[in-house]
Structure 1
Amino acid sequence: MQNCLNQELRRLLTEETITTLFQPIVNIERKSVFGYEALSRGPSASSLHGAQLLFETAERCGLTSELDGLCLRTAARSWSGQGTRLKLFVNVSPAKLMPPEFRPAHLQELLETNRLKPSDIVIELSERYPTVDPSELLKTLSWLKKQGFLIAIDDLGSGYSGLKLWSELKPDFVKIDRHFIRDIQDDLVKREFLRSVVDLSDRLGCRLIAEGVETEAEFRVVAGLGISLVQGFLFGRPKQIATACLNPLGVQPSPTIKVSREETAGSLISQIEPITSDSTLQHAWERLQSEPSTFSLPVVDNGRPLGLLHKWRVLETFSTPYGRALYEKRQVTQMLSSDALIVDYNTPLDEVSQRLIDDDAHYLKQHFVVTHNDRYVGLGSTRMLLKQITARKIETARYANPLTLLPGNVPIQKALAARTEEGLPFILVYFDINMFKPLNDLLGYRVGDQVILLLADLLLEFFHGDGDFLGHIGGDDFVVISPSPLAISNAKALQAQFVDQTRRFYTDTVLQNGFVESEDRGGHINRFPLVSLAAGIVQVGPDDQRTADQISDAASYAKKRAKASAGSCFIDSPSPPHAISPMAKVH
């Protein structure tokens, strides 16, 4: 087993298949994102996908430095593609900062290659790992601070010498280990520890970051103690695109579009006749025995659900000596599970699933109550929920583009048809890379694939709002369907970012010339401009009568006009169906 892990690690290092995920760090006072921590993972299908096993294996193989170097390069490259000037927190082992591993010239090259500034970077030094020569480490960290880098001590309270390093280094940030945050609302000792650390940080002029904030209760305590920077699942899980959930701070999400019934809790309901709170357990038991497929009965008064009566609970009680004689005349409220999950009819399936996972119960609920306008309409089954989500994921994977994993032709057509049926306004953007073939011919298909992946990453960065749909038609053609009124400005900003970031693929000579030489379609050598991005935009109003096929035709026409225009952008305003030029569909 160990040999297999060692071989897998060497393969990952050779092929450089490490992925960087970003988890947000938010500012409570400003109600905004302060920065992101870069977290490294192996490929999802690899035995070394998890960070802990990945780095433990590297340590056993004596390859920690090589893995650290790859993680830093991957993080820098991924971060430069995010297009933000927020702080990037990166984990660095002490060994990487000690001679002869630490090379300032390599660090400078890494920054210049990815167009990063030292002031953008916060170096996290974990106190989990002992330092062989603290004096040499302090020299390196002092030099980094002079260059403009910020320094953070990670995992305070989890390891060797955090307080000592804190006093000697005077870091800009100190991150408090998750151990002291977990269930802090119920632990006086943890609260007192945190209070003393807050007081110490105020005296030393250092900012604290509370790690691992996962619940509202933990967040309230941390905020009440005066810690302004927090990180944890409550605000966002690690993702490839730097995004955050600011709902706990009172920041409202962007408006959502209506979701088709097939993707909501309404598609899962079974019409189980409810009982009232004054029903007896005997009556409920008779119902449960006469309906073998029913395992829970909703308890409802005047249309409003109170909870669920579970068959196993009644059976357990009635099976005890004298249990039935003692309880059958009592009301069902004696055994009512009032912690039942209640969701609205129009709640998306993904949200229902997330609420079931986030539930504090120690068991996964088999059923949940579905309401409409706060009134009971039926019971949902967790089993059916999982079946639908699994079926949807299988269908998505079946039609996903193999390079970008974005939805392909069939899901694009379904999404477009669903939007037109809803009758709500949206904007469709058809993106196409200009001069992609000359780039492919000059630099090869590997670089061509990298350019396509870069565009996919930019699309995910600029269009990640509620209701946004991204699709990869094939080759260098992509589609965005968005309800946001900012979609057009986002598309134009994305075009500029694409031009800026693709220049790194060319040599200095090509950049100076401003063109590449390649064969044209007639087989003759010709000069071609560097790649850019065309955006054909179709605006669909609330009263638009065009069908999905007609809007698809309009998008193809808009893309063709965009590729021929000076700014590579063409906006097609809402128009009647008969005014549309017949073009090939988006497929």
Structure 2
Amino acid sequence: MQDCLSQELNRLLLKEDITTLLQPIVDIEKKSVFGFEALSRGPSDSPLHTAPMLFETAERCGQTLELETLCLRTAARHWSGHGTPLKLFVNISPAKLMPPEFNPTQLQELLLANGLKASDIVIELSERYPTADPSELLKTLVWLKAEGFLIAIDDLGSGYSGLKLWSELKPDYVKIDRHFIRDIQDDLIKREFLKSVVDLADRLGCKLIAEGIETEAEFRVVSDLGIALVQGFLFGRPKAVATACLDSLNVQKAHTPRLPQKEKDTAGLLCRHIEPVTSESTLQHAWERLQSEPGVFALPVVDNGRPLGLIHKWRVLETFSTPYGRALYERLPVTQMHSADALVVDYEVPLNEVSERLINDDAHYLKQHFIIVRNGKYAGLGATRSLLKHITERKIENARYSNPLTLLPGNVPIQQALVARTEEMRPFSLIYFDINTFKPLNDVLGYRVGDQIILLLSELLTEVFLADDDFVGHIGGDDFVVISSSPSANYNAGTVQALFAERSRRFYSDSVLKSGFIESEDRNGQPCRFPLVSLAAGTVEVGPDEKVTADQVSDLASYAKKRAKASPDFCFTDFSSSRSGKRLKTSQDANPNFNTA
């Protein structure tokens, strides 16, 4: 296998068969593209297509510098054809900048031949790789800066000497490694680390770039911390053309609520066990299997339970159909033709996440199959067609029961989500939100303002409750529910109450704000003064392994909401265990009708 990869690398270097892709770097404040990072790939049908495989093979074969030289030439030619004044970020290893490898004359000739200026280029120096002679590297970097090149330290926090190099070189940009961005909204330590880096960058006059932003939640945190430059799949995948998606820059103002997902909507739902072949199986054996099983179009290659990739029927057929193809290849092991970049997902991964990973996968085509593992061991295959069909059906079902004003899940999906949580028998909180004195506001200021108040609350709930399994639903009118397993659920509820009290004030006139009340009629038609709107939050806490039904939790939620509206701070928490699972059936504590359409 290693010999084959070495031969393929030599072929790519000889034919200069390298492609440059461009991934955008976006300026949040200006809502525009700041520049592009040049990323190198092998041919789409080559085992060296992906960057990790390409550069790891070059490193094993001692040809990293030759590959880097080719990638730089290819990137320069590709970028010159776009004619854009934006910055081009290129990755260079420390070894490439060390004498005698570094050649200033060749570098200047490369720029001249492609009509580029030094000020157009940002050299990314990764701290993943050790530096043999830091003093010599520093001399080269100082020379580059003097020539007009800009310098960026890449992958901060991932390797060897980023902070030391930062202090000595004073780079123009520092790129924060994806590790510190992934799920930052749920990780206090990562947020604190980023805050300290932001403070240091401000003191040193350096710009930060947050790499690998893939979700709206990650983007919000990065934006709130004041990092202006961002990069990741949320804004654009690497492509041959210089394009970017700037829609996500408005995500804080136009958050799309998450639709509910049933408990069993995981990769396991699509798992079909296909008897695997091993790495020692021949292509002849694989082909006989594929011919004898008409409904199977890919075979997993598995050794000792560990998936190695997929052998595709179309690829074997294509090879065997060529002159002498079968005679030449049928005795070879399947590893000569298997796809090692097959998507591997865990049995419990939600289908929405599987879909995102398939779409974001760095390939020129959508993979038709993916491997499903359980506890790290092969479990079966999933079909992309089945995945898309299931997600489409679920979206249609969700749209049917969504609230038309907020587009949040309505009563049917709320009840389904509640049933799923109670069947899990894991701890969770059900928080019932209701707007106080909403009717007088609606009567005085009109239904349009009333709708805006309801939309404000829906935006706050989806803005604050961001955990993966947080569920936000709209019962109707000014009633909302949140189901959350997060230990900070009650804290988040308090945050929503405070933000609602603050942001709802903009709908009142100055005179009303000064007086602190509005005048309207009460339920008996008598003139009355009503305070400005506020938010009540009644919470039901369900403990672990607690046997409680969805209807019982619904009844308790209605009771908790009533107690919250009567409380001075508009908060009340009830515990289902304290009532021994008995349902409340008084007329005053009626069920909030989660299970009605």
| 2:212 corresponds to 1:304 | no
SS in 2 for 1:538: strand
Aligned-pair CA distance for 1:260 = 6.0
Is the Cα contact below 8 Å between 1:241 and 1:457 reproduced in 2?
A: no
Give the Å deviation of 1:504: 1.4
Once the two structures are TM-superposed, the CA of residue 585 in structure 1 deviates from its matched residue by 2.5
In the TM superposition, what are the counterparts of 1:79-228 in structure 2 within 5 Å?
89-90=29-30, 177=86, 179-181=87-89, 190=121, 192=123, 196=145, 198=150, 208=172
Structure 1 length-normalised TM: 0.62
- Superposition deviation, residue 238 in structure 1: 5.9
Paired with 2:564 and 2:531, the residues of 1 have a C-alpha distance of 16
> Where in structure 2 are the equivalents of 1:182-581 lying within 5 Å?
190=121, 192=123, 196=145, 198=150, 208=172, 229-231=208-210, 234-236=212-214, 242-243=220-221, 262-575=264-577, 576-581=579-584
Contact 1:536 1:570 survives alignment (8 Å): yes
1:443 counterpart letter in structure 2? L
Letter in 2 for 1:481: I
CA distance in 2, matches of 1:368, 1:439: 53
Q: Distance in 2 between matches of 1:215 and 1:505?
A: 41
Residues 177-232 of structure 1 deviation map (CA, whole Å, 9 limit, x = unaligned):
5x5237778999745488635569999x9995679x9988xx9xxx9x99661145
Change (3 A) 1:209 1:550: farther
For 2:281 and 2:81, the matched residues in 1 are separated by: 54
Distance, in Å, in 1 between the alignment partners of 2:82 and 2:326 is: 56
Structure 1: unaligned runs, 5 residues or longer: 1-24, 26-35, 39-88, 92-123, 128-156, 163-176, 250-258
Query: Where does the alignment leave 5 or more consecutive residues of structure 2 unmatched?
Result: 1-24, 36-79, 98-106, 108-120, 126-140, 154-165, 183-196, 232-260
1:126, CA displacement in angstroms? Answer: 8.2
What SS does structure 1 have at the residue aligned with 2:393?
helix
Contact 1:181 1:210 in 2 (8 A): no
Describe the SS at the equivalent of 1:270. coil
Give me the whole-angstrom Cα distance separating, in 2, the residues matched to 1:381 and 1:545. Answer: 36
Going from structure 1 to structure 2, the CA distance change for 1:206 and 1:532 (only over 3 Å counts) comes to farther
Contact 2:90–2:123 (8 Å) recurs in 1: no
Q: Give the one of 573, 587, 590 matched to 1:584.
A: 590
235-244 or 443-452, which moves further after superposition?
235-244
Report the secondary structure of 2:559's partner residue: helix
For residue 444 of structure 1, what is the amino acid of its counterpart? G
Q: Secondary structure at 2:220's aligned position in 1?
A: coil
**Distance in structure 2 (CA, Å) of the matches to 1:470 and 1:569:** 18
Secondary structure in structure 2 of the residue aligned to 1:242: helix
What's the CA shift for 1:261? 5.7
Question: For residues 136-156 of structure 1, what are the alpha-carbon distances to aligned partners after superposition, in whole Å with 9 as ceiling and x for unaligned?
Answer: xxxxxxxxxxxxxxxxxxxxx
Which deviates further from its counterpart, 544-553 or 354-363? 354-363
| Counterpart AA for 2:220 | A
Given that 2:152 and 2:173 are in contact with CA atoms closer than 8 Å, whether structure 1 keeps it comes out as no
Aligned-partner Cα distance in 2 for 1:293–1:323: 24
* Distance in 1 separating the partners of 2:354 and 2:317: 28
Inter-CA distance 158–283: structure 2 relative to 1 (3 Å threshold): closer
Measured on the aligned residues, the alpha-carbon RMSD in Å equals 4.0
Distance 1:240 1:407, change over 3 A: farther
What SS does the corresponding residue of 1:181 show, helix, strand or coil? strand
Q: 1:552 to 1:515 in 2, by over 3 A?
A: same
Distance 1:322 1:378, change over 3 A: same
Q: Which residue in the other structure is 1:166 paired with? A: none
CA 1:525/1:159 → structure 2, altered by over 3 Å: closer, same or farther? farther
CA distance in 1, matches of 2:426, 2:207: 40
Q: In structure 1, what residue type is equivalent to 2:503?
A: Q
Deviations 1:544-577 (A, max 9, x none): 2211110010000100111112211111123244
Q: CA deviation at 1:239?
A: 7.7
Amino acid at match of 1:413: Q
SS in 2 for 1:433: strand
